Structure formats: structure tokens, C-alpha cells
Amino acid sequence: MYLLLFFFLQFSLAQDYSKVDAIVAKYPKKFSSINDLAQKIKDDFTSEEDRVRAAYYWVSNNISYDFKYLDSGKTPYKSIPDDHQYSSKLAKQKRKYANKCFSSKKAICEGYSLILNYIYKYLQIESIVIVGGTKQYTRKIGRVRSSSNHAWNAVRINNEWKLIDATWSTGNSRKVPNKFDFSDEYFFTPPENFILTHYPDKKEWQFLKKTISKETFYYNPIFHGTYFNSGLKINQFHKGLIKIKDKKSIKLNFTEIDSTRYYSYKFNNQKFSNDLTFKREKNSYFVDIPLPSKRPRELIIYDEIHGIIEFKLIP
């Protein structure tokens, strides 16, 4: 029993990064180079996990998302001839781009991922940049992308791959692009949760025993990071597209709920949310949501004030 308690305490302490975050929060807002930041982290922290967290925290709270660059449609790389020097030339361009992002303190997803990757390599922590697809809006449900639109990281600690997305942790928005609203929902996110929002180009980077198809991913509902800690778990068979023709209500099934929390729903053509009333059905729960007379296009499920799941409604 004491041994189990010991491991439980060790696990709990390992998940509390408040001390690491507090130290990094006092770091300068600007370093002369990526390596200087990496060396500072190396001097202040000894464990690989703390070092990974420190780099992630600093980058997520100091590099702003470059919406202007995103909208420009530009690429940070020049065309490279496909010869025996292709890999080395591309590596040089990526390093140059990462340095530029670090210096300007502005980046899009690849910039965030590259900066972290170079920090981790300096710290001799195995790291990769993963490229793949994401979907954040209900209109994207059911549209299977043929090209990638996002990049994130994975690090290997104690022989286990851990997933990180610094870009989605900043809380930057178009209205206030330089304001940080940090959230660590995408730090060491379990693979079974991460796959709800990120689909890697290479299936092995799902880090799942049973991988899912690209079609399954794009037909799933929209899951926000707040879903992971909502206490709500929807049945995996639910698709993100719901046909509402000739229906009077929408039935949703959940395998888990937290009875201490307040859940609600709202259609896109409604001003206010409505309470979700759960009913028990064998080993699961279900809600029966009445459809308004004016047919809506979207359904959003809330945990308190946070939207956590979105569905696309079609005739």
C-alpha cells in the first residue's frame, strides 16, 4: 500500500508544473538566440521533463502567432534542386526560418515547432516536428483534406513519446494577436485525446495501438481542448455530421459525465444556451435535444461557459 501511495504521489508531483512555470515566467522576454534560451533552461532544470516544460512554457507565452504572415500565403523556403544536397540545404533554410521567428517573436505553427525542436536537440532530448491536418470549424466537418495545414512536436522521455502543440497553447487571436491566454491542454496530451484534434501525415505518429483513418478524423465532431478536462466523454460512434431532416430532436450518447458540473447546448441560431438533461441508459447516458422550428446548421455542447464539442447539422 505504501509503495502504491509513493508512486501515486510521484505521479501527481510529476504532473504539477507550477514551479517550473513560475521560474520561466521570470525569464527575459527576449533572448539573443535559441541556444541562449536553451542554455538558460539547461542551467535551471535537471530533469528532461522539466526542461521540455520550460521551453514549451516560454515559447507559448512569448512568441505571438503571425496572422499577417499566414494570410499572405507566403512560404518561408526557397526552391531547392532535388539533388544530393537537398536535405542539408533544406535544414539550413529551416534553421534560418526558426531563428527569424525567434528574433521577431512571431511565428506560424511551423515556426513554433522548429524553435522547440532546436531547443530540445540542444538539450539532447529526442524530438521531432510532426506535420498533419487539423479542423477547428464545423464547416470543415466531412471535408477530407489532401494537404497538411499544421505542425506540432513530439518528444521522447523515458522511452515514451509525448505530444505538444505550443501554437494552440498561446491563446492568441486575430482580434488581440499579441495577447497571451496560455492554456496547457496541448502539453503531453494523451494520444487518444490528441487524435481528436490533430491528424498526422504519418499514421505511426498517432502513437495509438489502433490507428484511425483520415476519413474518420474529418467526419468526427469538432473537439476543443476544453473537452479533455470537461468530465464528459461522448460515445465514439458519433459522427460530426448529423442529418436532421424530418427529425424533432437529436439524441447524443455519452459514456461518462460529471454530475457536479453544468453542461448545456446551443444551436447557432439561438442567443442563449439550454440545460442538458442526462438520462441513464444501461452503462451510458443520453440526452434528447429538441430541434427548433427554424432549422439550425450547428450544435454546440458547453461545459460551464466553454464550448467543448460541435456538430454540423445537415438536411
pLDDT digits (tens, 9 = 90+) for 192-227: 999 999 999 999 999 999 999 999 999 999 999 999
pLDDT given for residue 83 in this prediction = 78
Mean pLDDT of 148-174: 96
**Cα–Cα distance measured from residue 53 to residue 99, given in angstroms and rounded to the nearest whole number:** 20
pLDDT tens by residue, 85-115 = 888 999 999 999 999 999 999 999 999 999 9
SS3 content of the chain, % helix, strand, coil (to 5): 35, 25, 40
* Range 20-219: architecture per CATH: Roll (3.10)
For residue 79, pLDDT over 90 is answered with no
pLDDT at 309 over 80: yes
In this predicted structure, what is the pLDDT of residue 11? Answer: 40
Domain ranges of the chain: 20-219, 228-314
Where residue 236 falls (left for φ over 0; alpha for ψ -120 to 50; beta otherwise) is alpha
**Spatial contact of 113 and 166, defined as CB atoms under 8 Å apart:** yes
Domains 20-219 and 228-314 share a fold: no
Model confidence at 177: pLDDT above 80: yes
* 24, 217, 260, 288 from 45: Cα distances, Å: 10, 38, 38, 51
Per-residue pLDDT at 168: 97
Are the C-beta atoms of residues 313 and 297 closer than 8 Å to each other? yes
Please report the pLDDT score of residue 9 as a whole number.
41
* pLDDT score for 10: 40
Instruction: Answer with the residue of higher pLDDT: 309 or 78.
Output: 309
pLDDT (mean) for 276-290: 94
Q: What is the pTM of this model?
A: 0.91
Q: Which pLDDT score, from 0 to 100, does residue 229 have?
A: 94
The number of C-alpha atoms within 13 Å of 105 and in the hemisphere containing its C-beta is 17
Report whether 78 contacts 44 (CB < 8 A).
no
Closest listed residue to residue 141, CA positions, set 231, 238, 228:
238
How many residues would you count in the chain?
A: 315
Residue 81: which pLDDT band, with cuts at 50, 70 and 90? confident
Question: Does domain 228-314 bear CATH number 2.60.40?
Answer: yes
Q: What is the tens place of the pLDDT at every residue in 286-305?
A: 999 999 999 999 999 999 99
Q: SS3 for 181? A: coil
pLDDT of residue 3: 39
- Would you say residue 163 has pLDDT above 90? yes
Q: How far is CA 171 from the centre of its chain?
A: 11
Q: Is 231 left (phi over 0), alpha (psi -120 to 50) or beta?
A: left
Regarding predicted confidence, which is higher, 3 or 32? 32
pLDDT, residue 272, reads 94
Task: For residue 187, give the amino acid letter.
Answer: F
Name the pLDDT band for 1 (thresholds 50, 70, 90).
very low
Confidence label for 189 from pLDDT (cuts 50, 70 and 90): very high
Tens digits of residue pLDDT in 21-59: 999 999 999 999 999 999 999 999 999 999 999 999 999
Work out the pLDDT band at 13, boundaries 50, 70, 90.
very low
Residues with Cβ within 8 Å of residue 125, at least 6 apart in sequence = 48, 51, 52, 155, 156, 157
Cβ–Cβ contacts within 10 Å for residue 213, how many? 11
